[in-house]
Structure 1
Amino acid sequence: MLTLIILVIVIVVLLVQFLLFSKIGGQKNNEALNEIKLLLNQWLITVKDIEKNLKEEFVINRKENAEASAALRTETNLQLNNFAQTITLQLTQLSNANEEKLNAIRVTLENSFNNFQQRIDANGQAGITALQQNLALFQTNLNEALKEYKNRMLEQFALFENNIQNQHAGNTEKMRELKQALETSVKNLQEGNEKKLEEMRKTVDEKLNDTLEKRLGESFKLVSDRLEAVHKGLGEMQTLATSVGDLKKVMTNVKQRGVLGEYQLQNIIEDLLTTEQYERNVKTKSGSGALVEFAIKMPHGRNFEKIVWLPIDSKFPKEDYEALTDAYEKGDAEKIEESRKSFINAIKRSAKEIKEKYIDPPNTTEYGIMFLPFESLFGEVLRVPGLFELLQKEYKITITGPTTLSALLNSLQMGFRTLAIEKRSSEVWDLLGAVKTDFKQFGDVLAKTKKKLIEATDVIDKSEVRTRAIERKLRNVEALPANQANAILDTPALNDTDKNDSVEDNAE
């Protein structure tokens, strides 16, 4: 690099000398100038070739270094990789620096050449010969300098290659030592693991024995608890069997069976109606001592004071229903038909009994209600074609189950509410009439108040006119302070009056 700088300085000196002697020339000066330009162009081409060769050598060296670095990187891992990257970066920086300096030299030569060209017309022929000699000397020196620079670069690359080989040898030795250390560590680790595994095996065996004994004890305890629970369940099953037997006795006994249906009917009525809307054990038919289980209070038309009873009685033809169910299970068509006839006759007898004992218009409604305590029993009645309509037409009896009775009582409850509204509607109309009368009187009072307010407004307007007239008359009179004015007039201050008024308003 120093040689190139010296070479540039020599070229500049030669050009200066050429300019100094170029004043003498004329046409010859132009020919010499052309020769100089030709020589300079040749030198520039030579410099570019040298630069190109250097770049190619740099590229080749970079490729070789990259390949060597890649090979070393696979062997030396992270350290050699970082080292190769550092060397590559330095070579790149060196190449960039050389390119920048060559560009600077080229720019300097061009600037000097332009300056020389401006002064060539003033120089003579005397310096042409000396300049040619100097240029020849310069070319010789330049070739020697470039050759020396090339030799230095080759020496540096050789030194760099030796360093890389030495580094590779050192890394190989370190890798060998590292491998031996790793083998030793792995061997020690295996021995330690074998000892720890033996200790863990002993510990696991001890814990397994303890856990097995504990689990066996818990399992035996659990089995004992389960056996005790089974014995307890057997006792509960015996109690349940006793309860089922008692229930069977209840279902077998006609009186107790009727109590069961009555109890279910009572629960439904109490859930849906108030105590004022029904009665229990009511004598609904005159001349008969029979008491119906429940009777609902119904209004007599528009007369809300008179009550009409709606009798409801529960029936449960258990024997006939069970016989029909058994016939269904056996699939005996003849037995089914016979049992169905017995069941229909039992239902008709119950409907006839309710009609004769409890229905007595106009003390009661024209129809009564037979309550069947089970939906299956009610469904069997509906299964018989025409039986439901026959009971309504001939005996004035409506058959209901738990669901249909609940729906019927809900509809009656809505009817009771509608009747209550109709009963209170007359009171509402009377109240509205009284409100209308009072509202008319209130309108009269508002009209009188409006008239008085208008009169007061007129008086205030007249007072304001008088006040403005007095103010115009007193405009030239000097006003006294408020305290002196209050003392002379012996009147309280307006602010005090306002405060007293606000206090009185708050008290009110």
Structure 2
Amino acid sequence: MEIIYVLLAVILLLLVVVLVMMNKAANTSRQNTLQYKTDQLLDSLHRLEAAVKQEMVTNRAETNEAAKNTRTEMTASLQVFGGQLSGAMKNTSDLQKNQLETFSTNLNMLTRSMEDKLQYLTSSLDKKITDLQSGNEKKLDEMRATVDEKLQKTLETRLGESFRLVSERLEAVHKGLGDMQQLATGVGDLKRVLTNVKTRGILGEYQLENMLDQLLTPEQYTKNVKTKAGSNALVEFAVKLPGKDKEQVLWLPIDSKFPKEDFELLMEAYDKAIPEAIEECRKNFIKGIKKCAVDIFSKYIDPPNTTDFAILFLPFESLYAEVIRTPGLFEAIQRESRIIITGPTTLSALLNSLQMGFRTLAIEKRSSEVWQLLGAVKTEFGNFGTILDKTQKKLQEASNVIDEAGRRSRSIERKLRNVQELPAEQVNLLLGDTATPTVANDDEK
């Protein structure tokens, strides 16, 4: 097919060339010549077409013959493969049959052997179990007698100990009941004490003072302070903070409050689980807390003499927890009255933070003093270096003088090397008493 396509393409190309040449012919002679060549070309094309058709017929016949031969070979191959496969399957089935027969024979032999062994084991086990049962019965009888005897003794001992422990526990319970009665009496006394508003205030004030005493130094806070100008109201405690000037004191007011009645009514409503009563008692409790905050704000906050906020101390964690549990109460009081509500734990953390701030200020003050001392030491050290340089120069000059004296003495010794030494008596006569100390020193040496 590819040859046919090529030949057709050549024919089309030749036709195009002929047409181009015919268009370019300008006169009759050339047209005749072109007509003659065109006829020849057409004859050639007819012959070429006949040859192509013959070639296509030949190719078709050869293709059919090749396909027929291929089918014949494939059929023969498939027949041979089928015969081989059938033989292999027959051999495999025979082999499997022989193996199954052998396996069945072996299985039967193994089954008979296992049955014999199981029968022997069964008889042996029956015999041993019988012997074991008889031995166990004898041992159980002996153990029963021994256990009965020991149980009797143990029971008597344990019962005696149990009665003794019960009597001791009853006595302890009796004593505990007496202690509980005393504790109930103490709780009643405490309740009567807490019913007094002034006593509750003293209790909260005592607890607040104890915490301040443990966490701050006496110089860092003051008791019963007038923090607001023109007012005689005394805040229970005020922490001293550094002001803008060194001598100015900035007060942080801290006051304790204990709204006991509202809190107890709210707790009773919680115990009864009545939603309406809980809501009513909660409103009264919130109103009481806000009243305490407004009271502190109006009496004790006076910037710039004080901070622009104060601290409301609740002496019990349960009371503080109820304030925190009420949605928006803590934030509203802080925003409207500039009061921070604290319990024992939160106040301890706040006082610890203030103590760290006091320590930081003390370190800053001491660091300036240390810096000045280091400046003085630096100045004195510079003076000491100047004096040391001068001393070194003097020592160098003295060393040079001594070296020069040594050179002079060695020169004199060389000059006097040939002079005869005189006896000591003559030296004393000639030089007088000045030579005696020198001689004495030489003798000592």
TM-score category (smaller protein): 0.5 to 0.7
CA distance in 1, matches of 2:286, 2:389: 80
1:490 pairs with 2:437: yes
Structure 2 match to 1:283: 226
Match of 2:181 among 225, 228, 238: 238
How far residue 220 of structure 1 moved from its aligned partner, in angstroms, is 9.1
Amino acid at match of 2:199: Q
Partner of residue 278 from structure 2, selected from 300, 318, 336: 336
Distance 2:379 2:271 in 1: 77
The answer for unaligned runs of 5 or more in structure 2 is: 1-152
| Structure 1 pair 308–232 and aligned structure 2 pair: CA distance change class (3 A) | same
Measured against aligned partners, the alpha-carbon deviations of 1:111-156 in whole angstroms (never above 9, x if no partner) come to xxxxxxxxxxxxxxxxxxxxxxxxxxxxxxxxxxxxxxxxxxxxxx
2:191 corresponds in structure 1 to 248
**C-alpha contact 1:375 1:401 (8 A) present in aligned 2:** yes
What TM-score does the superposition give when structure 1 sets the normalisation length?
A: 0.49
Shift in Å, 1:231? 4.5
AA of the residue aligned to 2:361: L
Partner deviation per Cα, 1:221-266 (whole Å, 9 max, x = no partner): 9887766655443332222111111112123222222222111111
1:292 aligns with 2:235: yes
- Mapped pair 1:434 → 2:381: no
3-state DSSP class of the match of 2:246? strand
Distance 1:224 1:476 in 2: 128
Aligned length: 282
CA displacement, residues 36-90 of structure 1 (integer Å, 9 cap, x when unaligned): xxxxxxxxxxxxxxxxxxxxxxxxxxxxxxxxxxxxxxxxxxxxxxxxxxxxxxx
State the alpha-carbon separation in 2 of the partners of residues 409 and 481 from structure 1.
97
Report deviation, 1:298. 1.5
The 3-state SS of whatever aligns with 2:284 is: helix
User: Would you say 1:469 and 2:411 are equivalent positions?
Assistant: yes
Note the C-alpha offset of 1:331.
Answer: 3.1
Are 1:266 and 2:209 counterparts? Answer: yes
Amino acid at match of 1:259: I
Retained in 2: the 8 A contact 1:293–1:313?
yes
Which residue does the alignment assign to 1:64?
A: none
Residues 352 and 469 of structure 1: CA distance in aligned 2, closer, same or farther (over 3 Å):
same
* Residue in 2 that maps onto 1:54: none
User: Any idea what SS the aligned residue of 2:360 has?
Assistant: helix
Q: Which has the higher contact order (CA 8 A, sep 6+)?
A: 1
Name the aligned partner's letter for residue 338 of structure 2. K
Secondary structure in structure 2 of the residue aligned to 1:360 = coil
Superposition deviation, residue 414 in structure 1: 1.8
Amino acid at match of 1:450: Q
Change (3 A) 1:468 1:391: same
In 1: Cα distance, 2:420 partner to 2:297 partner = 111
- The alignment partner of 2:303 has SS state of coil
**Distance in 1 of aligned mates of 2:241 and 2:415:** 90
Q: In structure 2, what residue type is equivalent to 1:288?
A: S
Conserved 8 A contact 1:304-1:423 = no
Query: 2: CA distance between counterparts of 1:284 and 1:258?
Result: 20
Q: Distance in 2 between matches of 1:241 and 1:272?
A: 34
1:16-415 correspondence to structure 2 within 5 Å = 229-301=172-244, 303-415=245-357
State the SS of the aligned residue for 1:351. Answer: helix
Aligned in 2, Cα 1:399/1:481: closer, same or farther, shift over 3 Å? farther
Structure 1 unmatched ranges of 5 or more: 1-207, 498-508
Match of 1:97 in 2: none
* Distance 1:466-1:354 versus aligned 2 partners, 3 A rule: same
Secondary structure of 1:432's partner?
helix
Q: Structure 1 residues 458 and 325 mapped into 2: Cα distance closer, same or farther (>3 Å)?
A: same
The DSSP-based 3-state class of the residue aligned with 1:325 is helix
Structure 2 SS opposite 1:304 = coil
For the residue of structure 2 that corresponds to 1:365, the secondary structure is coil
Q: Give the structure-2-normalised TM-score.
A: 0.56
Give yes or no for contact 1:315–1:370 (8 Å, CA) kept in 2: yes
Deviation of 1:359 after TM superposition, in Å, equals: 1.2
Structure 2: distance between partners of 1:496 and 1:305? 75
| 8 Å Cα contact 1:311-1:364 kept in structure 2 | yes
Asked whether the 8 Å contact 1:310–1:367 carries over to 2, the reply is yes
Given the superposition, is the C-alpha separation of residues 456 and 354 from structure 1 closer, same or farther in structure 2, using an over 3 Å criterion?
Answer: same
Cα distance in 2 between the residues matched to 1:240 and 1:327: 26
Aligned to 2:229, the other structure's residue is in SS state: coil
Letter in 2 for 1:299: P
- Counterpart of 2:13 in structure 1 is none
Q: In 2, distance between residues paired with 1:374 and 1:309?
A: 25
Pairwise CA distance, 1:481? 13
Letter of the 1:344 partner, please give it.
I
Instruction: Tell me which residue corresponds to 1:451.
Output: 393
Aligned to 1:201: none
- Deviation, 1:394, is 0.9
Partner SS state of residue 309, structure 1:
strand
Q: Determine the C-alpha separation between the residues in 2 that align with 1:328 and 1:223.
A: 40
Aligned to 1:8: none
Percentage of identical aligned residues:
66
User: Higher mean Cα deviation, 319-328 or 363-372?
Assistant: 319-328
Q: Distance between the aligned counterparts of 2:402 and 2:413, measured in 1?
A: 16
